[in-house]
Structure 1
Amino acid sequence: MRRIVVAALLWMGLATPAFAAPLKIGYSAWPGWFPWKVAEAKGLFKKNGVEVQMVWFEGYADSITALVAGKLDANCQTLNDTIAPAAAGAKLKVVLTNDNSAGNDQIIVKKEIASIKDLKGKKLGAELGTVDHYLLLLGLQKEGLTQKDIQFTPIETGAAAAAFAAGRLDGVGVFAPFTTKALSTGKGKVLFSSKEFPGAISDHLVLREEVVKARPGEIEKIVKTWFDTLDYIKKNPEESLQIMAKQAGTSVAEYKSYDSGTRIFNLEQNLVTFAPETKDPINLRYQSKIIADFLVKSGLAKTKPDTAVLFEDKFVRALKP
């Protein structure tokens, strides 16, 4: 009888088997995801009764590949980097909005390059098919250019920043904290950034669909931990900054410089992002259609997925007061 009751509770997501493995969450270098390190360091997952293994990736694209391959239960990634694999058949669910990029994704170029139109014929690098490749293409499109008008080099983000600093590229698409490396020689400048494209780059906790179906109770606790972590950071700013800067490999002062370029989202803002479609730039249903169209048009995706099925808002709604 007890087994039948437990099975029923598990089916409803109200109980978790004692033998369940920790949920593996991938994350990489981005200011909007470093708060997860605070959650891990201060035991906030365990405080909420959920076992989590945070898995660090030096290369952002590797974390996306690991999620799609089933080596992770969840990953921290952008909306456009979720739509692209979904277009290829991956079954994924966005359950949380960590932030919107508001300047920390940057196209950095040599100082003599005065405008986007001046990029024609220049050597530019970015991580193929990911967030700053997308940003680069958005900027080019704005001025009537395409990737065919530049010499594009696909290169991992950290390596891209180093290549630009070494003078091997005319420009590069990178995100914080790699922006610091790219600008370290004083020979570069920011030509444009995600600040010019509000809502275009949003960052999320994304899970494999099968995990969402199998372990909803744990996922709700993880989502709650995100908001508990933001509260902890607000109450303990100096300690939290030390933890996040260490994970980022930067000084606290450098880390503070990223604040204005990343708009961290609280519960109320999450509810807005998951709301029925409006033309608000942070609305995910609206923005996802724009991204899907762009990815197909630019050749980054072969087919346009049904983006409506990507969003699972029940976990943030469950936390609404």
Structure 2
Amino acid sequence: MKLIGISAAAMIAALTATPVLAADTKVTIAISGWTGFAPLTLAKEAGIFAKNGLDVTIKKVPQASRHLAIASGDVQCAATTVETWVVWNANGVTTTQLFQLDKSYGADGMVVRSGTAGIKDIKGKTVAASAPGTSPYFALAWMLKKNGMSVKDVTVVNMEPGAAAQAFIAGQNDAAMTYEPYLSAVREKPESGKIIATTLDYPMVMDTFGCTPKFIAENPDAVKALTKSYFDAVDMIKADQAKSYEIMGADVKQTGEKFGASAQYLRWQGREENKKFFAGDFQAFSKEAADLLLEIGVIKEIPDLTKIVDTRFIQ
């Protein structure tokens, strides 16, 4: 297999060569098992971070408490959805987005019982979703608003995406908000219910990577290396998809084949996609998201949206 005239073996060798940047800077990153974050795991496990001079520790931290890990100093960087950075900054956890990781193309969704004809039919029903301030809760609010409803029209039971999917399959709750790889668990159990809407219908889930302003100011070379490492991991996926899927799948106890099935519902974003995203789409979505977050009471005021992003390192 060739990639721009370079063999897959040569590409992988180049990605795992001798360190060239940021002399072994230590950094701890908070993520979840979301498929979109997997290139960060690949960068760690395939030695890409190390090659770029970084000593990276990855911690799995639920989105609902990820900002607490940042505020405590336990982690310096994190991956999460664009609107979540708005929530964190509005609530005093100052953070800066650096590059885009992925866009969901059906990887996040709402599952309902088979007899539910449309989203409007869940009015008065019980919906499992993560806590306010998380992506699943925001996705629920977004989908309800687009259908003339609000979160006040349903009863929300706070459950993390994996637990929400499993509880739904077990017959609990009328609906649930979840994402890959857990959404595929429902796809594989059609007798339990159906997926009524995903980000193909409501394109509002996109993830970015960011760090504290202090870490960025004190470690610009490391930030450059983190950004490069992510793009290197995306290149490795293109060069040797099978090996990459095996590595990323193992982290969430999936085979490479199962991981690939989840990955088909999202798109990882390379350097050029990043440049395009931050040239306009980012600003428009952040504004609409912030307005909704204010409306549903997740934030009390909208932070300065121009100060929660730094795109120097994707150029």
Residue 300 of structure 1: aligned partner: 298
Alignment of 1:44-59 (within 5 A): 44-57=48-61, 59=62
The Cα shift of 1:95 comes to 0.3
Alignment of 1:1-321 (within 5 A): 22-57=26-61, 59-129=62-132, 130-186=134-190, 187-198=192-203, 200-275=204-279, 278=280, 283-317=281-315
> How far apart, CA to CA, are the structure 2 residues paired with 1:252 and 1:314?
34
Instruction: Report the CA distance shift for 1:64/1:182 in structure 2 as closer, same or farther (over 3 A).
Output: farther
The Cα shift of 1:181 comes to 3.2
The Cα shift of 1:289 comes to 0.7
Aligned CA-pair RMSD? 1.7
Q: Which amino acid aligns with 1:105?
A: D
SS at match of 1:81: helix
Q: How many residues align?
A: 293
Fraction of identical pairs, as percent: 27
Q: Are 2:67 and 2:93, in contact at CA under 8 Å, matched by a contact in 1?
A: no
SS at match of 2:254: coil
Q: Are 2:247 and 2:256, in contact at CA under 8 Å, matched by a contact in 1?
A: no
> How far apart, CA to CA, are the structure 1 residues paired with 2:182 and 2:195?
13
The Cα shift of 1:167 comes to 1.0
The Cα shift of 1:230 comes to 1.1
Q: Are 1:84 and 1:300, in contact at CA under 8 Å, matched by a contact in 2?
A: yes
Residue 9 of structure 1: aligned partner: none
Normalising by structure 1, report the TM-score: 0.87
> How far apart, CA to CA, are the structure 1 residues paired with 2:48 and 2:259?
22
> How far apart, CA to CA, are the structure 2 residues paired with 1:76 and 1:302?
23
> How far apart, CA to CA, are the structure 2 residues paired with 1:149 and 1:32?
30
Gaps in structure 2 of 5+ consecutive residues:
1-20
Residue 7 of structure 1: aligned partner: none
User: Which contiguous aligned blocks of 4+ residues in structure 1 show a shift greater than 6 angstroms?
Assistant: none
> How far apart, CA to CA, are the structure 2 residues paired with 1:127 and 1:192?
17
Residue 11 of structure 1: aligned partner: none
Q: Are 1:126 and 1:155, in contact at CA under 8 Å, matched by a contact in 2?
A: yes
> How far apart, CA to CA, are the structure 1 residues paired with 2:255 and 2:112?
24
Q: Which amino acid aligns with 1:192?
A: A
The Cα shift of 1:29 comes to 1.0
**Cα displacement string for residues 194-228 of structure 1 (whole angstroms, at most 9, x for unaligned residues):** 11222x21101111111111111111011001111
Q: Which amino acid aligns with 2:106?
A: G
> How far apart, CA to CA, are the structure 2 residues paired with 1:287 and 1:179?
24
**Cα displacement string for residues 62-84 of structure 1 (whole angstroms, at most 9, x for unaligned residues):** 33331233211101111111111
Q: Are 1:23 and 1:52, in contact at CA under 8 Å, matched by a contact in 2?
A: yes
**Cα displacement string for residues 84-126 of structure 1 (whole angstroms, at most 9, x for unaligned residues):** 1111122110001001111101101111111011111111010
SS at match of 2:195: strand
> How far apart, CA to CA, are the structure 1 residues paired with 2:72 and 2:285?
26
Q: Are 1:29 and 1:60, in contact at CA under 8 Å, matched by a contact in 2?
A: no
Q: Are 2:199 and 2:205, in contact at CA under 8 Å, matched by a contact in 1?
A: yes
> How far apart, CA to CA, are the structure 2 residues paired with 1:143 and 1:285?
24
The Cα shift of 1:267 comes to 0.4
SS at match of 1:33: helix
Residue 8 of structure 1: aligned partner: none
Gaps in structure 1 of 5+ consecutive residues:
1-14
Q: Are 1:125 and 1:153, in contact at CA under 8 Å, matched by a contact in 2?
A: yes
Normalising by structure 2, report the TM-score: 0.88
Q: Which amino acid aligns with 1:61?
A: A
